[in-house]
Amino acid sequence: MLDDVTRANYEAIARERGGLRAAWAAFRIRTDDLRRMNAAARLEAVVEDGFDRDTLPLTDRGYAGPGGGRMSVVGRPVEYRATTAQVAGLWPWSVGAGAPLIGTPLGSHLHTGAPVCFDPMNWFMRGSFITAPSLFVLGLNGFGKSSLVRRIVLGGVAQGITPLVLADVKPDYRKLVELVGGQVIDLGYGHGQLNPLAGGVLGAIVPQLDHLPQVQEQVLQELRARQVTLIAGLVELVRGSRVRDFEETLVSTALRILYREGSGFTAAEPPIMENLLEVIVAGGDQLMLDAGADTPGEYQESIKGLRRSLRALTSGPFGAIFNGQTTTPIDTGSVAVCIDVSHIPNGDKKLKAAVMLACWADGFASVEAAHVLADAELGPQRYFQVVMDELWQVLGLGDFMVDRVDELTRLQRGLATSLIMISHTIKDLQSLGSEAAIAKAVGFLERARAKIFGALPPEEIKRLDSTVPFTVAEEEMVTGWSAPQALTGEALKPGQTRPPAPGTGKFLLKIGEDRRPGIPFQMEFTLSEKESGIHDTNQRFSEFNESTDRRGDEGSGAA
């Protein structure tokens, strides 16, 4: 500390002069003030406890000195978040948080422990955080993608939003829909059929619009356009190449002939694929004009390719599902709808993709029908949440499928519908043939206003960098989640719960296209979810453990 004379000299220099000498004098005075304050604090901290010994001074970081436990760095305390009604007595000991409490509760923030809430419909309608209610979920299998989407679906059901799981491949959502009292539709060999020519829900509302002839005509035109688009997509899947322009016109004309007055076919009793093939083969002046044929022989030659494709849709595996009346139409009044296509063998990729495409088209048509009734004041305004899982199974069959899916996914905001698309990696979208198809496929990810990423390999982050930039910390975090569990060499004991991988249930929520940090969170199951078993996708493996254990017991008993 400075003596009184030296301090007085420094005070005079700081007061009367300028430049470096004045600045140095001011610095020495401030330093002396701090030292005097510390000395006074040390004197006040001296404590006598009645024994002939020195006591350690107590500071705000612990007792100073050897063995006092003083912390040089104080860790950040855990933050908790709740509503003002729950923690009103703690006010004003609260701080703002980076994750808004709007939407379905998903879990807790990985860094702060605060709750994280999200679903695309609420973040679009109530929070205005995103410009369209769309979500793309990307992550490796086995790390909880389906469990996350099931939680979002369950939250939507609680808010009156009807989830439409169009083509449940594994199935991942069937049990959830059954538990909430929703509708489950089975499709596959011996499990049900889907008629691409059926009007579905959109056709069923046509008689209700007799007093609105203009709206009725618009619905009929929309119905025909959707049918032509779906049949063209199915033809492309069967033949493995794009449908020719005149062939699409032939299909449109044939549908008009089938539904003309006096044909016997109506929206309630629609034709099937076999009837469509018969009309095209029979020909006629209108169809010959569409094919650009001058003679019946020239017409038959020009439709040979289309005949082969439609024949494949009326017989064999495709015919078993598509050449018949729809077994169970979608009920948009149900709490939830799940179309289970797991009965189709995984090896039949073309058929599974065709059924998925048909289910998606039927589902979006049903959504449009509900909104037509609402606009005509014939029904309540409904909100839907469409889940499109295993997107890669359709896109991977060819560039031509990208356009068909693109047509389905562009207008979900106009249909008051949130869209959730799920895939494993962006590599699935970038494995298409042409650059144009790749650009459209990646556009699915770009157009999704919210993205949730699970565990990903390092090379996947590099592919995503041009679309969704990651910070360095986020890149290390997401790639670290994909690390395998430690190899301890110990087998699971009977009844022991199978431990999840280290990155299971950890996700990163990002919005926007800049490098702003996302929201990392850990998904947590509620007690009711655990008891219901809706997230248990390893039931067959648990049965394997039990049977292995029984065989081991039998072997030891025989010995």
Average pLDDT estimate for 196-216: 90
| Residue 224 in domain | yes
Per residue in 377-389, pLDDT (tens digit) is 998 888 999 898 8
Decide if 22 contacts 13 (C-beta within 8 A): yes
Per residue in 83-141, pLDDT (tens digit) is 667 766 665 544 444 678 899 999 998 888 888 999 999 999 988 899 889 999 999 88
pLDDT at position 559 is 42
507 — phi, psi (to 5°)?
A: -140, 160
| Residue 555 in domain | no
pLDDT at position 384 is 92
3-state secondary structure of 78: coil
Nearest to 325 by CA among 483, 192, 132, 479: 192
Minimum mean pLDDT range among 230-244, 360-374, 511-525, 527-541: 527-541
pLDDT at position 521 is 93
Average pLDDT estimate for 267-271: 84
Nearest to 119 by CA among 529, 448, 340, 450: 450
Per residue in 138-182, pLDDT (tens digit) is 998 888 899 999 999 999 999 999 999 988 888 899 999 999 999
* DSSP code string of 458-484: HHHHHHHTTTS---HHHHHHHHHHTPP
Nearest to 389 by CA among 153, 117, 125: 153
pLDDT at position 95 is 45
Cα–Cα dist 154/523, whole Å: 14
pLDDT at position 279 is 95
Query: DSSP assignment, residue 127?
Result: S
Decide if 515 contacts 471 (C-beta within 8 A): yes
Bridge partners of 63? 58, 69
Residue 25's domain comprises 4-62
pLDDT at position 272 is 94
* CA dist list (Å): 481 to 32, 105, 106: 52, 22, 18
Q: Are residues 57 and 201 in the same domain?
A: no
Checking if the pLDDT of 488 tops 80, the result is no
Q: Calculate ∠ Cα 359-365-367, nearest 5°.
A: 105
Parallel, antiparallel, or unpaired for β 134-138 and 115-117? Answer: unpaired
pLDDT at position 544 is 45
Parallel, antiparallel, or unpaired for β 506-511 and 519-523? Answer: antiparallel
| Residue 248 in domain | yes
Listed in order, strand segments (DSSP E) in 169-285 are 183-186
Average pLDDT estimate for 349-356: 85
pLDDT at position 184 is 95
Minimum mean pLDDT range among 53-57, 178-182, 288-292: 53-57
Q: Are residues 218 and 358 in the same domain?
A: yes
Decide if 501 contacts 133 (C-beta within 8 A): no
| Residue 201 in domain | yes
pLDDT at position 540 is 45
pLDDT averaged over the chain? 83
Q: How many domains in the chain? A: 2
Average pLDDT estimate for 270-289: 93
| Residue 265 in domain | yes
Query: DSSP assignment, residue 208?
Result: G
Query: DSSP assignment, residue 209?
Result: G
* DSSP code string of 282-336: H--HHHHHHHT-SSHHHHHHHTHHHHHHHHHHHSHHHHHHHSS--SS---TTSS-
| Residue 229 in domain | yes
Checking if the pLDDT of 283 tops 50, the result is yes
pLDDT at position 335 is 94
pLDDT at position 558 is 45
Bridge partners of 388? 421
Checking if the pLDDT of 557 tops 60, the result is no
Who has greater pLDDT, 493 or 459? 459
Checking if the pLDDT of 412 tops 60, the result is no
**Final residue of a structural domain among 17, 46, 62:** 62
Checking if the pLDDT of 239 tops 60, the result is yes
pLDDT at position 300 is 94
Minimum mean pLDDT range among 136-150, 429-443, 456-470: 429-443
Per residue in 319-347, pLDDT (tens digit) is 999 999 999 999 988 999 999 998 888 77
| Residue 360 in domain | yes
Bridge partners of 511? 450
Q: What pLDDT band is residue 447 in, cutting at 50, 70 and 90?
A: confident
Checking if the pLDDT of 349 tops 90, the result is no
Q: In residues, how long is the chain?
A: 559
| Residue 49 in domain | yes
pLDDT at position 522 is 93
